[in-house]
Homo-oligomer: A and B are copies of this chain.
Protein backbone atom coordinates (compact mmCIF):
# COMPACT_ATOMS: atom_id res chain seq x y z
CA UNK A 1 0.00 0.00 0.00
CA UNK A 2 1.64 3.20 -1.17
CA UNK A 3 4.87 1.28 -1.87
CA UNK A 4 5.18 2.90 -5.27
CA UNK A 5 4.59 6.62 -5.71
CA UNK A 6 1.13 7.46 -6.92
CA UNK A 7 1.23 9.00 -10.38
CA UNK A 8 -1.38 11.73 -10.91
CA UNK A 9 -2.21 13.17 -14.32
CA UNK A 10 -3.25 16.80 -13.88
CA UNK A 11 -5.42 18.55 -16.47
CA UNK A 12 -3.33 21.72 -16.38
CA UNK A 13 -5.61 23.55 -18.80
CA UNK A 14 -8.95 23.04 -17.02
CA UNK A 15 -10.52 25.59 -14.71
CA UNK A 16 -10.88 29.34 -14.29
CA UNK A 17 -7.34 29.74 -12.98
CA UNK A 18 -5.57 27.38 -15.36
CA UNK A 19 -2.76 26.86 -15.80
CA UNK A 20 -1.12 29.02 -13.11
CA UNK A 21 -3.05 27.89 -10.02
CA UNK A 22 -3.36 24.31 -11.22
CA UNK A 23 0.39 24.05 -11.65
CA UNK A 24 1.01 25.71 -8.28
CA UNK A 25 -1.23 23.16 -6.52
CA UNK A 26 0.43 20.31 -8.37
CA UNK A 27 3.92 21.51 -7.43
CA UNK A 28 2.97 21.73 -3.79
CA UNK A 29 1.38 18.27 -3.83
CA UNK A 30 4.48 16.80 -5.43
CA UNK A 31 6.65 18.26 -2.69
CA UNK A 32 4.41 17.65 0.31
CA UNK A 33 2.61 14.43 -0.58
CA UNK A 34 5.39 12.65 -2.39
CA UNK A 35 3.28 11.96 -5.45
CA UNK A 36 4.45 12.04 -9.02
CA UNK A 37 2.56 14.62 -11.07
CA UNK A 38 2.16 14.68 -14.83
CA UNK A 39 1.06 18.07 -16.13
CA UNK A 40 -1.14 17.67 -19.20
CA UNK A 41 -1.56 20.67 -21.47
CA UNK A 42 0.05 23.18 -23.74
CA UNK A 43 3.75 23.42 -22.79
CA UNK A 44 3.86 26.99 -24.08
CA UNK A 45 1.27 28.01 -21.52
CA UNK A 46 2.47 25.81 -18.67
CA UNK A 47 6.15 26.69 -18.75
CA UNK A 48 5.90 30.45 -18.18
CA UNK A 49 3.98 30.12 -14.90
CA UNK A 50 5.61 31.48 -11.73
CA UNK A 51 8.16 29.21 -10.01
CA UNK A 52 8.98 27.72 -13.38
CA UNK A 53 12.33 26.53 -12.09
CA UNK A 54 10.49 23.97 -9.99
CA UNK A 55 9.02 22.54 -13.17
CA UNK A 56 12.31 21.13 -14.35
CA UNK A 57 11.81 17.66 -12.96
CA UNK A 58 8.14 17.42 -13.83
CA UNK A 59 6.78 15.69 -16.90
CA UNK A 60 4.72 17.90 -19.16
CA UNK A 61 2.52 15.82 -21.44
CA UNK A 62 1.54 17.88 -24.49
CA UNK A 63 -2.14 18.30 -25.30
CA UNK A 64 -3.98 20.46 -27.78
CA UNK A 65 -6.75 22.67 -26.50
CA UNK A 66 -9.35 22.04 -23.86
CA UNK A 67 -13.12 21.61 -23.65
CA UNK A 68 -14.69 25.02 -23.10
CA UNK A 69 -17.46 25.51 -20.54
CA UNK A 70 -20.11 26.31 -23.16
CA UNK A 71 -19.41 23.20 -25.23
CA UNK A 72 -21.67 20.16 -25.20
CA UNK A 73 -19.38 17.71 -23.40
CA UNK A 74 -19.86 14.45 -25.28
CA UNK A 75 -19.48 15.90 -28.76
CA UNK A 76 -16.53 18.06 -27.70
CA UNK A 77 -14.75 15.06 -26.19
CA UNK A 78 -15.20 13.16 -29.44
CA UNK A 79 -14.24 16.11 -31.63
CA UNK A 80 -11.08 16.98 -29.67
CA UNK A 81 -9.21 13.72 -29.06
CA UNK A 82 -6.09 15.63 -28.03
CA UNK A 83 -7.81 17.94 -25.54
CA UNK A 84 -6.05 17.97 -22.18
CA UNK A 85 -8.76 15.95 -20.40
CA UNK A 86 -8.66 13.25 -23.07
CA UNK A 87 -4.88 13.01 -22.95
CA UNK A 88 -4.99 12.80 -19.15
CA UNK A 89 -7.51 9.94 -19.28
CA UNK A 90 -5.41 8.15 -21.86
CA UNK A 91 -2.45 8.22 -19.47
CA UNK A 92 -4.54 6.25 -16.99
CA UNK A 93 -5.79 3.90 -19.66
CA UNK A 94 -2.23 3.23 -20.77
CA UNK A 95 -1.21 2.70 -17.14
CA UNK A 96 1.20 5.63 -17.22
CA UNK A 97 -0.81 7.34 -14.50
CA UNK A 98 -2.98 6.13 -11.62
CA UNK A 99 -5.44 9.00 -11.47
CA UNK A 100 -6.70 12.15 -13.16
CA UNK A 101 -7.42 15.48 -11.49
CA UNK A 102 -9.30 18.13 -13.47
CA UNK A 103 -10.92 21.47 -12.65
CA UNK A 104 -12.21 21.81 -16.19
CA UNK A 105 -15.69 21.14 -17.61
CA UNK A 106 -17.04 18.45 -15.27
CA UNK A 107 -19.37 17.00 -17.88
CA UNK A 108 -16.42 16.69 -20.25
CA UNK A 109 -14.34 14.97 -17.57
CA UNK A 110 -17.14 12.47 -17.06
CA UNK A 111 -17.62 11.91 -20.77
CA UNK A 112 -13.87 11.43 -21.27
CA UNK A 113 -13.71 9.00 -18.35
CA UNK A 114 -16.63 6.99 -19.69
CA UNK A 115 -15.34 6.87 -23.25
CA UNK A 116 -11.66 6.30 -22.51
CA UNK A 117 -11.75 4.26 -19.29
CA UNK A 118 -15.23 2.77 -19.29
CA UNK A 119 -17.35 1.81 -16.32
CA UNK A 120 -16.48 -0.65 -13.58
CA UNK A 121 -18.26 -3.95 -14.00
CA UNK A 122 -21.69 -3.93 -12.36
CA UNK A 123 -22.03 -0.16 -12.35
CA UNK A 124 -24.73 1.28 -14.60
CA UNK A 125 -23.98 4.92 -13.98
CA UNK A 126 -20.95 6.56 -12.45
CA UNK A 127 -21.68 9.14 -9.76
CA UNK A 128 -19.88 12.19 -8.48
CA UNK A 129 -19.36 12.08 -4.74
CA UNK A 130 -18.74 15.19 -2.65
CA UNK A 131 -17.58 15.38 0.94
CA UNK A 132 -19.14 18.01 3.20
CA UNK A 133 -18.23 18.91 6.78
CA UNK A 134 -20.89 18.26 9.41
CA UNK A 135 -21.74 19.61 12.84
CA UNK A 136 -19.31 17.05 14.23
CA UNK A 137 -15.90 18.34 13.22
CA UNK A 138 -14.33 14.93 12.69
CA UNK A 139 -17.25 13.42 10.81
CA UNK A 140 -17.64 14.47 7.18
CA UNK A 141 -20.52 13.22 5.07
CA UNK A 142 -20.22 11.84 1.54
CA UNK A 143 -23.06 12.81 -0.77
CA UNK A 144 -23.59 11.16 -4.11
CA UNK A 145 -24.60 11.75 -6.80
CA UNK A 146 -23.99 15.50 -6.94
CA UNK A 147 -24.43 16.01 -10.65
CA UNK A 148 -23.52 13.16 -12.97
CA UNK A 149 -27.04 11.72 -13.36
CA UNK A 150 -30.01 14.06 -13.21
CA UNK A 151 -32.67 11.44 -13.83
CA UNK A 152 -32.05 8.24 -11.87
CA UNK A 153 -33.53 4.81 -11.39
CA UNK A 154 -33.63 3.10 -7.98
CA UNK A 155 -30.87 0.63 -8.83
CA UNK A 156 -28.53 3.51 -9.70
CA UNK A 157 -28.99 4.88 -6.21
CA UNK A 158 -28.40 1.43 -4.77
CA UNK A 159 -25.10 1.27 -6.64
CA UNK A 160 -24.25 4.76 -5.34
CA UNK A 161 -24.80 3.43 -1.83
CA UNK A 162 -22.40 0.56 -2.45
CA UNK A 163 -19.73 2.79 -3.98
CA UNK A 164 -20.19 5.40 -1.28
CA UNK A 165 -19.79 2.79 1.42
CA UNK A 166 -16.46 1.66 0.00
CA UNK A 167 -15.23 5.22 -0.41
CA UNK A 168 -16.31 6.23 3.06
CA UNK A 169 -14.71 3.16 4.57
CA UNK A 170 -11.41 3.11 2.73
CA UNK A 171 -10.73 6.77 1.96
CA UNK A 172 -12.49 8.56 4.77
CA UNK A 173 -11.65 5.81 7.25
CA UNK A 174 -15.13 5.19 8.60
CA UNK A 175 -15.97 1.74 9.92
CA UNK A 176 -19.36 0.43 8.74
CA UNK A 177 -20.50 3.73 7.20
CA UNK A 178 -24.12 4.63 7.94
CA UNK A 179 -26.03 5.15 4.72
CA UNK A 180 -29.03 7.44 4.33
CA UNK A 181 -31.45 8.14 1.49
CA UNK A 182 -32.06 11.84 0.87
CA UNK A 183 -35.78 12.31 1.38
CA UNK A 184 -38.47 14.65 2.66
CA UNK A 185 -39.57 12.71 5.70
CA UNK A 186 -38.44 10.00 8.07
CA UNK A 187 -41.08 7.44 7.18
CA UNK A 188 -40.57 4.66 4.66
CA UNK A 189 -43.62 5.82 2.71
CA UNK A 190 -42.38 9.38 2.25
CA UNK A 191 -40.90 10.90 -0.85
CA UNK A 192 -41.17 10.91 -4.60
CA UNK A 193 -41.48 7.79 -6.67
CA UNK A 194 -37.71 7.35 -6.91
CA UNK A 195 -37.21 7.64 -3.15
CA UNK A 196 -40.01 5.26 -2.23
CA UNK A 197 -38.70 2.56 -4.56
CA UNK A 198 -35.06 3.10 -3.63
CA UNK A 199 -35.89 2.75 0.07
CA UNK A 200 -36.92 -0.87 -0.48
CA UNK A 201 -33.72 -1.74 -2.36
CA UNK A 202 -31.50 -0.17 0.29
CA UNK A 203 -33.40 -1.81 3.13
CA UNK A 204 -32.87 -5.25 1.62
CA UNK A 205 -29.21 -4.82 0.67
CA UNK A 206 -27.04 -6.62 3.21
CA UNK A 207 -23.80 -5.07 1.98
CA UNK A 208 -24.61 -1.62 3.32
CA UNK A 209 -25.69 -0.22 6.68
CA UNK A 210 -28.84 1.59 5.64
CA UNK A 211 -30.24 3.55 8.56
CA UNK A 212 -33.14 5.28 6.83
CA UNK A 213 -34.13 8.56 5.25
CA UNK A 214 -31.99 11.67 5.62
CA UNK A 215 -34.00 14.89 5.46
CA UNK A 216 -32.42 18.17 4.45
CA UNK A 217 -31.93 19.00 8.11
CA UNK A 218 -30.06 15.74 8.72
CA UNK A 219 -27.44 16.19 6.03
CA UNK A 220 -25.02 18.10 8.25
CA UNK A 221 -26.02 16.41 11.49
CA UNK A 222 -23.17 13.91 11.45
CA UNK A 223 -25.62 11.02 11.84
CA UNK A 224 -25.02 9.82 8.30
CA UNK A 225 -21.70 8.94 6.68
CA UNK A 226 -23.06 8.46 3.17
CA UNK A 227 -26.19 10.03 1.67
CA UNK A 228 -27.47 8.94 -1.73
CA UNK A 229 -29.70 10.95 -4.05
CA UNK A 230 -30.17 11.69 -7.71
CA UNK A 231 -27.72 14.11 -9.30
CA UNK A 232 -30.29 16.89 -9.50
CA UNK A 233 -31.11 17.09 -5.81
CA UNK A 234 -27.48 16.43 -4.91
CA UNK A 235 -26.14 19.16 -7.13
CA UNK A 236 -28.64 21.71 -5.85
CA UNK A 237 -27.77 20.77 -2.28
CA UNK A 238 -24.01 20.86 -2.83
CA UNK A 239 -24.01 24.24 -4.56
CA UNK A 240 -26.35 25.63 -1.94
CA UNK A 241 -24.12 24.32 0.85
CA UNK A 242 -21.05 25.88 -0.68
CA UNK A 243 -22.72 29.24 -1.11
CA UNK A 244 -24.23 29.22 2.35
CA UNK A 245 -20.78 29.15 3.89
CA UNK A 246 -20.03 32.40 2.11
CA UNK A 247 -23.38 33.83 3.15
CA UNK A 248 -22.67 32.96 6.78
CA UNK A 249 -19.30 34.69 6.61
CA UNK A 250 -20.88 37.74 5.01
CA UNK A 251 -23.66 37.94 7.58
CA UNK A 252 -20.98 37.71 10.27
CA UNK A 253 -19.02 40.54 8.70
CA UNK A 254 -22.13 42.70 8.43
CA UNK A 255 -23.54 41.98 11.82
CA UNK A 256 -20.44 41.85 14.00
CA UNK A 257 -19.50 45.52 13.89
CA UNK A 258 -22.82 46.49 15.43
CA UNK A 259 -23.64 46.74 19.09
CA UNK A 260 -21.90 48.33 22.02
CA UNK A 261 -18.57 46.55 21.84
CA UNK A 262 -19.11 44.85 18.54
CA UNK A 263 -16.30 46.58 16.72
CA UNK A 264 -13.76 45.57 19.34
CA UNK A 265 -14.98 42.00 19.12
CA UNK A 266 -14.65 42.07 15.36
CA UNK A 267 -11.03 43.13 15.49
CA UNK A 268 -10.25 40.32 17.91
CA UNK A 269 -12.06 37.85 15.73
CA UNK A 270 -10.27 38.29 12.45
CA UNK A 271 -8.12 35.22 12.90
CA UNK A 272 -11.10 33.24 14.11
CA UNK A 273 -13.07 34.20 11.03
CA UNK A 274 -10.33 32.81 8.87
CA UNK A 275 -10.41 29.50 10.70
CA UNK A 276 -14.21 29.33 10.48
CA UNK A 277 -14.05 29.99 6.75
CA UNK A 278 -11.51 27.20 6.42
CA UNK A 279 -13.77 24.77 8.19
CA UNK A 280 -16.70 25.37 5.87
CA UNK A 281 -14.82 26.19 2.68
CA UNK A 282 -15.15 23.73 -0.16
CA UNK A 283 -11.55 24.36 -1.19
CA UNK A 284 -10.53 22.35 1.85
CA UNK A 285 -12.37 19.34 0.55
CA UNK A 286 -10.68 19.16 -2.82
CA UNK A 287 -13.47 18.16 -5.11
CA UNK A 288 -15.66 15.29 -6.08
CA UNK A 289 -14.60 11.77 -6.85
CA UNK A 290 -16.08 10.29 -9.98
CA UNK A 291 -17.05 6.85 -8.73
CA UNK A 292 -17.87 3.94 -10.99
CA UNK A 293 -15.44 4.51 -13.85
CA UNK A 294 -12.39 2.31 -14.32
CA UNK A 295 -9.92 4.87 -13.05
CA UNK A 296 -9.50 7.31 -10.18
CA UNK A 297 -10.87 10.65 -11.36
CA UNK A 298 -11.18 13.73 -9.17
CA UNK A 299 -13.40 16.50 -10.49
CA UNK A 300 -12.52 19.81 -8.89
CA UNK A 301 -14.43 23.06 -9.00
CA UNK A 302 -13.99 25.30 -11.98
CA UNK A 303 -13.02 28.01 -9.51
CA UNK A 304 -10.26 25.89 -7.97
CA UNK A 305 -7.05 27.59 -6.98
CA UNK A 306 -3.85 26.00 -5.73
CA UNK A 307 -5.19 24.84 -2.31
CA UNK A 308 -8.16 23.06 -3.94
CA UNK A 309 -5.91 21.37 -6.47
CA UNK A 310 -3.55 20.31 -3.71
CA UNK A 311 -6.43 18.78 -1.77
CA UNK A 312 -7.83 17.13 -4.90
CA UNK A 313 -4.47 15.47 -5.47
CA UNK A 314 -4.41 14.32 -1.86
CA UNK A 315 -7.86 12.82 -2.38
CA UNK A 316 -6.63 11.03 -5.50
CA UNK A 317 -3.65 9.67 -3.59
CA UNK A 318 -5.93 8.34 -0.84
CA UNK A 319 -8.15 6.62 -3.39
CA UNK A 320 -5.13 5.05 -5.07
CA UNK A 321 -3.36 3.98 -1.89
CA UNK A 322 -6.55 2.42 -0.57
CA UNK A 323 -7.42 0.68 -3.84
CA UNK A 324 -10.93 2.06 -3.92
CA UNK A 325 -11.67 0.86 -7.44
CA UNK A 326 -10.89 -2.76 -6.72
CA UNK A 327 -12.95 -2.65 -3.58
CA UNK A 328 -15.95 -1.18 -5.40
CA UNK A 329 -15.82 -3.98 -7.92
CA UNK A 330 -15.42 -6.61 -5.25
CA UNK A 331 -18.26 -5.19 -3.19
CA UNK A 332 -20.49 -5.00 -6.19
CA UNK A 333 -20.00 -8.65 -6.97
CA UNK A 334 -20.86 -9.54 -3.41
CA UNK A 335 -17.35 -10.87 -2.81
CA UNK A 336 -15.82 -10.50 0.62
CA UNK A 337 -13.63 -7.41 0.45
CA UNK A 338 -10.76 -8.87 2.39
CA UNK A 339 -10.40 -11.79 0.02
CA UNK A 340 -10.07 -9.46 -2.92
CA UNK A 341 -7.53 -7.26 -1.17
CA UNK A 342 -4.66 -9.01 -2.88
CA UNK A 343 -6.04 -8.57 -6.38
CA UNK A 344 -5.24 -5.77 -8.76
CA UNK A 345 -7.82 -5.90 -11.50
CA UNK A 346 -8.05 -2.25 -12.17
CA UNK A 347 -4.65 -0.76 -11.59
CA UNK A 348 -2.83 -3.69 -13.21
Chain A residues close to B by CB (< 8 Å): 70, 72, 134-135, 137, 147, 150-151, 182-184, 187, 189, 191-193, 195, 215-221, 229-233, 235-244, 247-248, 250-252, 254-256, 258-262, 264-266, 268-269, 271-272, 275-276, 279-280
Q: Give the chain B neighbours of A193 by CB distance below 8 A.
A: 150-151
Whether A262 lies near B251 (C-beta < 8 A) is no
The answer on a CB contact under 8 Å between A255 and B236 is no
* Contact of A252 with B276 in the complex, beta carbons under 8 Å: yes
Note all chain B residues with C-beta closer than 8 A to A248.
244, 248, 280
Partner of A221, one of B237, B243, B255, B271: B243
**For the complex, what is the distance from the CA of A70 to the CA of B189, rounded to whole Å?**
11
The one of B183, B216, B264, B265 that contacts A238, using a Cβ cutoff of 8 Å = B216
Smallest CB–CB gap between A46 and chain B, Å? 29
Q: Which residues of B contact A235 (CB under 8 A)?
A: 184, 215-216
Residues of B within 8 A of A215 (CB): 235-236, 239
A19 to chain B, nearest CB (A): 24
Q: Which residues of B contact A272 (CB under 8 A)?
A: 255-256, 258-259, 262, 265
Residues of B within 8 A of A252 (CB): 252, 276
Question: Which among A134, A232, A258 has the greatest number of chain B C-beta atoms within 10 A?
Answer: A232
A150 to chain B: closest residue by CB: B192
Contact B241 A244 (CB under 8 A): yes
Contact of A147 among B151, B182, B184 (CB under 8 A): B184
Known: A192-B230, A217-B242, A252-B276. 20 other contacts (CB 8 A): A72-B189, A135-B247, A137-B254, A147-B184, A150-B191, A183-B236, A184-B231, A195-B232, A215-B239, A216-B237, A216-B240, A219-B240, A220-B240, A221-B243, A232-B233, A251-B279, A256-B269, A258-B275, A265-B269, A265-B272
Q: A234 CB to closest chain B CB, in angstroms? A: 9
Which chain B positions have C-beta within 8 A of A276?
251-252, 255
Give the Cβ gap from A290 to chain B, nearest Cβ, in Å: 16
Whether B244 and A220, one on each chain, are in contact in the complex, defined by CB atoms closer than 8 angstroms, is: yes
Q: What is the total number of copies of this protein in its complex?
A: 2
* Complex-state Cα separation, A248 to B217, whole angstroms: 13
B residues less than 8 Å from A265 (CB atoms)? 264-266, 268-269, 272
Contact of A261 among B219, B220, B221, B268 (CB under 8 A): B268
Give chain B residues whose Cβ lies under 8 Å from the Cβ of A147: 184
A-B pairs, top 6 by smallest CB distance, nearest first, are A216-B239, A216-B240, A265-B268, A217-B243, A150-B192, A261-B268
CB-CB < 8 A to A266: which residues of B? 265
* 9 A-B pairs with C-beta separation under 8 A: A150-B193, A150-B195, A240-B241, A248-B280, A255-B276, A258-B275, A259-B268, A259-B269, A260-B271
A106 to B346, CA, bound (A): 50
**Docked-complex contact A250 and B216, CB < 8 angstroms:** no
State the CA gap A184–B106 with chains docked (Å). Answer: 12
Measured CB to CB, the closest approach of chain B to A141, in angstroms, equals 12
Provide the bound-state CA to CA distance between A13 and B216, in Å: 26
CA–CA, A219 and B265, complex, Å: 30
Question: Within the assembled complex, what's the spacing in Å between the Cα atoms of A250 and B268?
Answer: 19
